[in-house]
Each structure stands twice: as C-alpha cells, then as structure tokens.
Structure 1
Amino acid sequence: MLQPTLPIPANHRNFIWVSISCGLYWFAFSLTRPIITLYAASLGLQGLSIGIVLAVYALLPMLAAIPGGFIADRFGRSTVLRAGSIMMLFSGLLYWISGGPWTLALAQLLAGLGQMAVWLAVQVLITEGPAQGNEGRFATFSLYMAIGQMLAPILSGYLADHYGYKMVFAGYILSSALLIFTSWQCRDEAPSALPSEEGEGTSHLLLRSTFDKIRRWLGQCLGLLRNPSFAVILLTTFISLFIVDVRTAYLPLHLESQGISNTKVGLLVSIGAVSALFVRPIYPRLMARLSFGWMLILTYAVSLLLLFVTPLLTNFYGIAALVFITGLALGINQPLTLSMIAHSTAPEERGLGIGLRLMSNRAAQLMDPLLFGFFTAFVSLQASFLLVGALLLACCVFTIQLHLSAERVPRPPEPYHDKKPRAST
C-alpha cells in the first residue's frame, strides 16, 4: 500500500538536491566573477588585457557546450555534474596560487569548462519529467539560483575589502567542495542514451552504435538550429546573458571609477540577484497573460536600460534602483527560455537543447569582454556602455522580427506554449 507513494518524495528530494547544486554553482560563480575584473586590474592589467583574461573563461565552454549536451544525454547528467564540480575545485586552487596573468588565465580556462559542465547538467536535470505545468518548478529552480547570486557578491566584496582577494578564492574552493558533495546526491530521472550491450559484446558494434548516435545527434542539432523559434530562444539567451555579464564584470569597473568600495560593489551586484527573487511569484502570472512576443519586448526594453542609463548615473542609490529594475527583466528570461526548451524538445534532445543554449551563454561571455576591451582602447568606459548597448539593441530588434516572421508561417501549434483546450459546446 505504501509503494505508490515512494516515487513522489524521491523525485522531490532529487529536485531539492539539483536546486541546491544550482544555488551552490551560482554562489561560487558570483563569488569570483565580479572580483576577477578587479583582481586582474590589481595585477596591473588594463583595457584589452583584462578583456582577454575574462574572455578566456568562455572560450572552451563555447566550443564544448554542444558536445557536452551529447555527453550528458549519453553518459548521464549526474556524471557530467560531478566531473564539472571537480574541475571547479581545481580551478579554485589555481585562482589561489595565481599571481600573474598566465596562471589567472589558466584558472579562468578550467573554471569556465567546469562551470559549463555543472550548469549544463543541472539545467537538463531540472527539465526532466513532464513539460506540462512546470512553470512553478522552473521558477523555484530560478529562486535557488537567485539566492546564490544574491549572497555571494556581498560576501565577495566584504572579503576582498577586509581580507584580500585570496580569501575570496578560498570561499570559491569551499563552495566547490560542497558542490561535489551535493552532486553525488543527484540522480538522472530520465535514462541516458547508452547503447545496449545485450547480445552484442563486441567493441566494433558498440563503436558503430556510437557513430550512429553521433550522426543522429548532428542531424538533431541542425534541425534545432533551422527552427526559427529555437533560434529566438538562443538569441534571447545571448542577449540576457550578455547584459548579466556586463553587470557582473564591467559594472564593478565603472563603480570603482566612481570611488565605490568593493563591499558596495558586491552589494549592487547582489541587488540585481535580489530582484530575481520577485520573479518567482510574478512569472507564472505573466506567462498566463502575455504572449511570448510581448514578453520579449518587455524584457528587452527594461534590461537594456542597464547599458544606456548606467553611464549617466553617479549616485549609489540611483545605480542600485537601476540594477534592481533591470534585474527583474533578466530574472524572467531564465525560466522563460528553460520552459520553452522543455516544451520544444523531446526528452532525448534536452541535453542538446541545453547545450545549444549554453553555447549561446558562453558566446555572450566571450563577446562581452572582447567588445568592452576593444571599445575602451579608443573611448572611455562610459562611452563603451553606450556603444555595446546600441549593438545589443540592434540584436533585440532582429530577434523580435525573427519571432514575428516565424509566427506568420503556418505551422503546428507552438511547442513552447501550453494551449488551454477550449470547452466543447
């Protein structure tokens, strides 16, 4: 009699462990990301040199995101999560011993790859299960993410001001060690696509099976990229992550130029994450009342204010209000794109879909420092905010036009919307 009730708490426990892993990942990421820019500046790096050190973080992850999705589908999401958490721990040790640009760049390289693996795995794990009615689940997942983003920058700024950057890296090492523990509590709810060994037993057949899966995987990848609706998801992810990275990487430099301490810098970055906490109750209501097109326009318009208004503000409280308001829009984009991927991909394609989304994420984190580094070589940091904002505005307009053109093409009902059935008369 008790057996039918067992899967429910087991699934709930797994959801909690995955969400805790998500929170720890974002805590570790948010602990170091705002500080890396300031730490690189303290080592004597400037302009384009800082941009290159920051861009290195996203280089390997951008190349490995799609293969990472295939690996997650084939060998298991929890396996990828555990491997990524171990790489994060080793990157923390490199941060700790870094005293120059080369060791710092190597730490960035390893941290980027490990964090990509962790973030890919937890996203795929959270999208497993039925897609219907999962808006609340995705919003709760984003809540854990927001908590990690909220607490870490405050602690990071305080530690940097009072104990130095090495203590920040020690916190990153501890967070990575805790993540290793939680990753071993997570399990796959959907089976991985391992080839069957029953009755075969030969490496030749297993290798052929793997090649067949890779060929099918490449076909699925091209199919998703040809889908205009999925392209809109990737572009939306690129835009939102680009702005988030500006907030965590280059807003601290702007604030430092205004004479604001590291503790206050961390507080401002945390305010952006605090605003995401308000997304949990409003996101399902917005999804029920607004179309996807209007959600795009709303979130784009609000989030772009960070780039266009920041150079005009010098008051701490004015910047804090701006970060909070734009953080609302950026916080909505996270569950929005995850929900769309869950509705627009089959379970066996989830890893691939998340891998493409991660590639878009890392492309944003690669382009952000390179663009800022290039522009700051010719103009001021404040002018660079405006120039980057203009480029992103053009990207937003293109994405909206792509969505509208895709809407005009006759096709089956949109996979990322839950259509309520009409009452029969």
Structure 2
Amino acid sequence: MTEKLIFPPQAPMQHRNFVWVSLSCGLYWFAFSLTRPIISLYAASLGIQGIAAGLVLAVYALLPLLAAIPGGFIADRLGRTVVLRAGALLMIVSGLLYGLSAGPWILALAQLIAGLGQMAVWLAVQVLITEGPAEGSESRFATFSLYMAIGQMVAPIVSGFLSDQFGYRTVFAGYTLSSLLLMLTSWRCREESRTPDPAATAPSPSIGASARFLQAEEPVSFKVRGLFRQCLTMVRNRRFAVILLTTFISLFIVDVRTAYLPIHLESLGISNTRVGLLVAVGALSALFVRPIYPRLMAKLSFRWMLILTYGVSLMLLFAVPLLSNFYAIAALVFVTGLALGINQPMTLSMIAGATTQEERGLGIGLRLMSNRAAQLMDPLLFGFFTAFTSLRTSFLLVGVLLLVCCAFTVRLYLSSEKEPLSRARTMEKGREFQRNG
C-alpha cells in the first residue's frame, strides 16, 4: 500500500522535470546555433581574417577546455542546477558583449565568456538528463536529442534572416533574449535525489570516529589529486576513451559545419538566409534520429554503429570542396547530419552505463572537455591551413587528419573488446583512488 501511495505521484513530477530539462536543452542549442554560424561571417565583416579569425573563433573553447573537469566536479558537489543557472547568467553577459563588439578584442572576450557559460549549461543539462530511471533511457535520450535538434534547426534560419534584413547586432539581441529565457527555465529544473554508494562513501566500522572525522576534513589538495586520479582511471578504460574520441570527432565535424561551411558558402555567393537554411538542414536530419536510433542500436553492434557514423559524417569534409550547387550541398549536409545526430544519444547512453551516479558529472565533464578540444582545434587547424592554401584544400587536409583519428578509434574499440578488466573492476578501482586520495 505504501508503494502505491508514494510512487505514482513521482512519475508526473519526473516527467515535468524531464520536460523542463529538455526545454533548457532546446533553448541552449537555439542560443548557441543562433550565433555560432555567423561569428565567422561577423568577424570577416570586421576585417578579421586568416590566423586572427582562427584565434577569435578558437578562444571560445579555451576556458571550457580547462574548466570541463572541474565543472563536472562542481556539478557533483554543489549541484547541477547551480551550474546550470550560473552558465545561463554568463551567456547573458556574453550576449551583451557581442552587441558591443566592434573589433577583435571585445569579440574575443565575448567568445571567452560565451564558451564558459555554454559549457556550464550543457554540462548541467546532460547530467540532469542521465539521472532518470534506467528503464526507457534509450527513448529518453533520443527525445532529449529531439529538443536539441529543434533548437539547432530553427536558430540558423532565424539567424540568417535577421542578419540579412537587420544586421548582426539583431542576432546578438536574440541570443541575449534566448539566454534570459534559459535562465527562467533553469529555475524550474530539479535534481534527482542522490543516494551515495555505501561502499564508496561509508568508512568501515573498524575505522572509528576519529578516522571518519579526518576523512571529512580531508585537505582540498587530496581531493583534487583523487579527482584527477579518478579521471585517469576512467580514461584508461578503453571503451570510455572511445566515447571521448567519438565525441571529439563528431563535434569537430559539427563545428566545421557551423563555422567554416558558412564561409565556403559565402564564397559561392550564397546569402546569409540560405546559409542559415543549409545549417538548419543538418539539424533537421537529426529529427529523424529519434525514431531510427533505438532500432539501429537493437540491430547493430556498437562496432558497426561506430564505423557507419564515421564513414557517413566524414563525407562532409571530402565532398564539400567538390560541390557548388546549393541543393547538392543541402543533400550532403542532410545525410551527414543523420550520422552526427546518432552519435549524441549513443555516447550519452554509453556514459550512463559506464559510470555510477556519483561519477556522472565527472564523466560528462570529460566528455565536454573532448567537445571543447574539438572546438579549439577546428579553427586553429583551418586558420593554419588557410594561411598557406585555399579553404577548399583545407577541408580535404582536415578530412585526412580526422580519417586517421577515426581509424585509430575503431582499432582502439576492437582492442577493448578483448580487454580482460571488467567494468565493475574498473569503477571499483576508480572509487578506491577517490577514497585514498
């Protein structure tokens, strides 16, 4: 009788929280996708080109790259919603700076703050969405990705139209407004009650009260050392390393699509409105991931999912330089977007299955660090290559580098299938590092 009284009211509450978290995800991606495709075009309109443009774009990922792991630690300790609201506030500040920018320095500062704020928001919503019940998680992650895809799809169209009709500063005003709405939805998000693993947190009865007091008063330096040892343990797990590499490759290609494809399209004489439509096509394809992803996961092994998504998504880099027709490029962006859209729920599912609830924030933090490493390397590589050769050749050179990275990742996963160390032993070793500091 007690169970019947307690559990039914929780289901609607969990559903409402899932909706608010998903709305926050959609608003985040709407704000991100509103500005990301036009930052490179805006920088070019200010006369910032070549390596200088690459640095302005790359600085966006600098602080997130450094703060991703500490951010996961903070999310685990202070709470996911605290990190979510702090990130939304930083996004509002960055929007105001974007509107004030008229040269490389303020634009770079806006990029720096936007990167940190967006990293915090994306970290928080990913951790919040993985805290639901294990039953139906595949469907939940796919639905979460649907909200993300809607934000990614609508924003570039709005961005292109606004920049063509009213100028870039109108787009930055829309970004600021979206960040304000995100702040409002963040206050409706709630965290699942966390029950720590007794084996990981409770000391042995034989330790005594004094030892438990010393454990509670453990110096911060010991906690930091334990944190990085735990990170090292997780990365040494080859399957977790595959997650990070897959995230890096996917985000790299997505960032090429949102940052450098618009420059290529502009060189073909395509307007900002049509550029926004093309970027939106990539997000539109992700909508089709929602119904097909659970079926693909049920029929294909992870190995073949990995090879399939790599092969299809790399087509973007190798085929774009050969195409000049708007509709041919749109078809390419749509097909490659399917593969890139699958990688998002696939890696989230793997992280949810490979970490405990107490390790979830750290796992997402490592994944975010991989994301931001991709967004740092993308403009730096393109900025370097375009200083010596054409943009079209740069697409091919970057494609070759990513192809090598994909081959290495597949080989690493194949070797992980023979790895004798089980997931349970790996996680227990990580918790032992954390306890011993």
TM-score normalised by length of structure 2: 0.90
Q: Describe how 1:222-371 pairs up with structure 2 within 5 A.
A: 222-371=232-381
Separation in 2, partners of 1:177, 1:206: 38
- 1:191 is matched with which residue: 194, 204, 209? 194
Task: State the 1:6 CA deviation.
Answer: 1.1
- 2:100 is matched with which residue: 97, 100, 114? 97
- Percent identity over the alignment is 72
Q: Match of 1:70, as an amino acid?
A: F
- 1:129 is matched with which residue: 132, 139, 145? 132
Separation in 1, partners of 2:17, 2:324: 45
- In the alignment, structure 2 segments of 5+ residues that lack a partner are 203-208, 426-437
- 1:160 is matched with which residue: 145, 158, 163? 163
- In structure 1, the residue matched to 2:413 is 403
Separation in 1, partners of 2:348, 2:135: 13
Q: Please say if residues 23 and 148 of structure 1, whose CA atoms lie closer than 8 Å, have aligned partners that are also in contact.
A: yes
Task: State the 1:227 CA deviation.
Answer: 0.5
Q: Match of 2:274, as an amino acid?
A: K
With 243-252 and 132-141 compared, the bigger mean Cα shift is at 132-141
Separation in 1, partners of 2:264, 2:185: 36
Q: Match of 1:225, as an amino acid?
A: V
Aligned to 2:389, the other structure's residue is in SS state: coil
Alpha-carbon distance change, 70 to 414 in structure 1, aligned in 2, over 3 angstroms: closer
Q: Please say if residues 73 and 192 of structure 1, whose CA atoms lie closer than 8 Å, have aligned partners that are also in contact.
A: no
Separation in 1, partners of 2:62, 2:421: 37
Separation in 2, partners of 1:92, 1:192: 38
Query: What are the Cα deviations for residues 211-241 of structure 1, in whole angstroms up to 9, with x where unaligned?
Result: 5543432222111011111000000000000
Task: State the 1:49 CA deviation.
Answer: 1.0
Q: Match of 2:354, as an amino acid?
A: S
- In structure 1, the residue matched to 2:430 is none
- 1:386 is matched with which residue: 373, 396, 408? 396
- In structure 2, the residue matched to 1:150 is 153
Separation in 2, partners of 1:207, 1:252: 53
Q: Match of 1:189, as an amino acid?
A: E
Aligned to 1:124, the other structure's residue is in SS state: helix
- In structure 2, the residue matched to 1:75 is 78
Q: Please say if residues 75 and 192 of structure 1, whose CA atoms lie closer than 8 Å, have aligned partners that are also in contact.
A: no
- 2:20 is matched with which residue: 8, 17, 20? 17
Q: Does 1:112 align with 2:115?
A: yes
Separation in 2, partners of 1:217, 1:414: 19
Alpha-carbon distance change, 148 to 156 in structure 1, aligned in 2, over 3 angstroms: same
Separation in 2, partners of 1:206, 1:406: 37
Separation in 2, partners of 1:100, 1:192: 50
Q: Please say if residues 194 and 357 of structure 2, whose CA atoms lie closer than 8 Å, have aligned partners that are also in contact.
A: no
Q: Does 1:46 align with 2:55?
A: no
- In the alignment, structure 1 segments of 5+ residues that lack a partner are 416-425
Separation in 2, partners of 1:52, 1:16: 37
Q: Please say if residues 61 and 362 of structure 1, whose CA atoms lie closer than 8 Å, have aligned partners that are also in contact.
A: yes
Task: State the 1:48 CA deviation.
Answer: 1.0
Alpha-carbon distance change, 73 to 257 in structure 1, aligned in 2, over 3 angstroms: same
Separation in 2, partners of 1:38, 1:297: 33
Q: Match of 1:217, as an amino acid?
A: L
- In structure 2, the residue matched to 1:423 is none
Task: State the 1:406 CA deviation.
Answer: 1.1
Separation in 2, partners of 1:414, 1:328: 33
Separation in 1, partners of 2:263, 2:105: 21
Q: Please say if residues 138 and 294 of structure 2, whose CA atoms lie closer than 8 Å, have aligned partners that are also in contact.
A: yes
Name the Cα RMSD after superposition.
2.0
With 332-341 and 44-53 compared, the bigger mean Cα shift is at 44-53
Separation in 2, partners of 1:211, 1:411: 29
Alpha-carbon distance change, 403 to 154 in structure 1, aligned in 2, over 3 angstroms: same
Aligned to 1:354, the other structure's residue is in SS state: helix
Query: What are the Cα deviations for residues 246-292 of structure 1, in whole angstroms up to 9, with x where unaligned?
Result: 00000000000000000000000000000000000000000000011
Query: What are the Cα deviations for residues 302-341 of structure 1, in whole angstroms up to 9, with x where unaligned?
Result: 0000000000000000000000000000000000000000
Task: State the 1:411 CA deviation.
Answer: 4.2
Query: What are the Cα deviations for residues 107-152 of structure 1, in whole angstroms up to 9, with x where unaligned?
Result: 0000000000000000000011333531000000000000000000
Q: Match of 1:310, as an amino acid?
A: V
Q: Does 1:170 align with 2:173?
A: yes
Query: What are the Cα deviations for residues 52-82 of structure 1, in whole angstroms up to 9, with x where unaligned?
Result: 0000000000000000000000000000000
Q: Match of 1:238, as an amino acid?
A: F
